[in-house]
Structure 1
């Protein structure tokens, strides 16, 4: 499996209901220094994500236009378009997403994530 396939698999894992509800699975996928700037405008560190995602109502997501770029020997950036399905009290939406993945001791972890909403989408 090449790097693009591997990081796409990890991104999809982070969008699965069973992973989002599993603190240990999330802890393994997120670097200790993890930081997120969300499409909603919020800012979260790893501890905040671990506390909030396990309580969040699940929303199905779909990834398109996935691309990976090496930034250093142990660092890669994944970019993609993410579509969120409609949920009770929410409308369907789309956002451009960017993640920095770092490899330590043969294991890739997300170091940074940002979502930018697509207006009218």
Structure 2
């Protein structure tokens, strides 16, 4: 697996509840100096993320249009589009997302993430299943 595929795989892992509900797994992927700027514009550090993320309710993410670039030795960035759907909600949330990953020792860790809400993206969400 190449570096691009490895980082995208790590990023996708952070969109799963297997990882999000485990403080230990989050700690393996998020740097101690992690920062996030949320859709609201608020900035969060690692402690706030570890306090909040494991208690999120179910939702699903569909991603597309992944881009990857090396910023410097041991620092990379991914960018992609996401569609977040919550059960029982008729409206999906669309966003453009970016993360910066840094090689810390032998492991890649996310040091920064930002999601910006945007208008609906073409083909970002699979068609809704017909209701019976």
- Residues 15-65 of structure 1 show CA distances to partners (whole Å, capped at 9, x for unaligned) of 101111000000110000000001233321000000100111121101101
Runs of 4 or more off by more than 2 Å in structure 1?
Answer: 86-91
Distance 2:13 2:86 in 1: 20
Structure 1 residue matching 2:40: 3-state secondary structure:
coil
Equivalent in the alignment of 2:107: 107
Q: What is the TM-score with the length of structure 2 in the denominator?
A: 0.86
Shift of 1:72: 0.6
Shift of 1:92: 0.7
- Residues 69-109 of structure 1 show CA distances to partners (whole Å, capped at 9, x for unaligned) of 00010100100001111333572111000000000112100
Count of aligned pairs? 121
1:17 aligns with 2:17: yes
Structure 1 residue matching 2:55: 3-state secondary structure:
coil
Which one has the largest radius of gyration? Answer: 2
Instruction: List alignment gaps of at least 5 residues for structure 1.
Output: none
Instruction: List alignment gaps of at least 5 residues for structure 2.
Output: 122-132
